[in-house]
Amino acid sequence: MKILFSPSEAKKPTPNPLNSPINSIICDRDEILQKYYDIVNSQDESILGDIFGVKSTSDIAKIKNLMMQKIYHKAILMYDGVAYEALDYLNLDEVASRYIDENLLIFSNLYGVLKAGDYVQFYKLKQGKKISQIDSAKYYKPRLDKILDEILEGEDILDLRAGYYDKFYSIKTPYITMKFLKNSKVVSHFAKHYRGLILRDLALNKASNFDELMQIKFPNLSLLEIRKTKLKSELVFEISDDC
């Protein structure tokens, strides 16, 4: 089973970085990366602050310093948002962490898509921000279609991406997604948290297909219904009041 996931704008340096990259999903990134680093190498703080999504001079300088070190960080550890905190990757056992490395596909505004175990340079890019007039989603959509079709062929697919990343790749075979309600209302912050927790439980249970996913009892979640539309089966969960 392959799991499609969102990145996070929050990022951090990782323990044990490498001196060379690992990009296991090969696609044409040359133009967008060159444009991005042309901007990074500029001295215009207003442009840098806009593309990084930060305001202070010290934050801009800190990000540039991390990027100029030419070391490569493990993707799953570099991302630092709510979902990644809930996953708590560093405290997974070896088997569970290998499951994440091999089966999690993280969509990226800059790199298109990465396996969790890939190593890339530290970067900062505000979601939806164009890179020298290049729209990341439009740039990567034709480049990822064939590649991901091949990677996902014959796999059960769980799509835990935020809706924005649907623009990068459209799934062409049956797949599962999830929606989270609290007091019968759709939630966003809790959704990120629970996507991370679900990912952790999938890894701990080594779920390899839909049937095994459906056997897992996710804590504090009650399955209300399954909504089927075309290729998508949406699992609708209610978050219990005691969490």
Q: What is the pLDDT of residues 121-138, one digit of tens each?
A: 999 999 999 999 999 999
d(CA 121, CA 204): 28
Phi/psi for 163 (5° steps) reads -55, -30
User: Given pLDDT bands bounded at 50, 70 and 90, which one contains residue 108?
Assistant: very high
d(CA 14, CA 80): 10
Q: How many CA atoms lie within 13 A of 145 on its CB side?
A: 8
Residue 174 CA, distance from chain mean position: 20
Exposure letters 200-238 (e unless 16+ CB within 10 A, then b): bbbbeeebeebeebeeeebeebeeeeeeeeeeeeebbbb
Residue 11 CA, distance from chain mean position: 12
Q: What is the largest CA-CA distance in the chain?
A: 54
Q: What percent of the chain has pLDDT over 90?
A: 89
- Across residues 141-162, what is the average pLDDT? 97
Helices then strands, counting H and E runs in the chain, come out as 9, 10
Structure tokens at 23: 């990009």
Structure tokens at 100: 């994440």
Residue 159: pLDDT over 80? yes
Structure tokens at 203: 């890894």
d(CA 48, CA 30): 20
pTM for this entry: 0.95
Give the pLDDT confidence of 5-54 residue by residue, as tens digits. 999 999 999 999 999 999 999 999 999 999 999 999 887 888 999 999 99
CA angle 231, 234, 235 (to 5 degrees): 145
User: Given pLDDT bands bounded at 50, 70 and 90, which one contains residue 243?
Assistant: very low
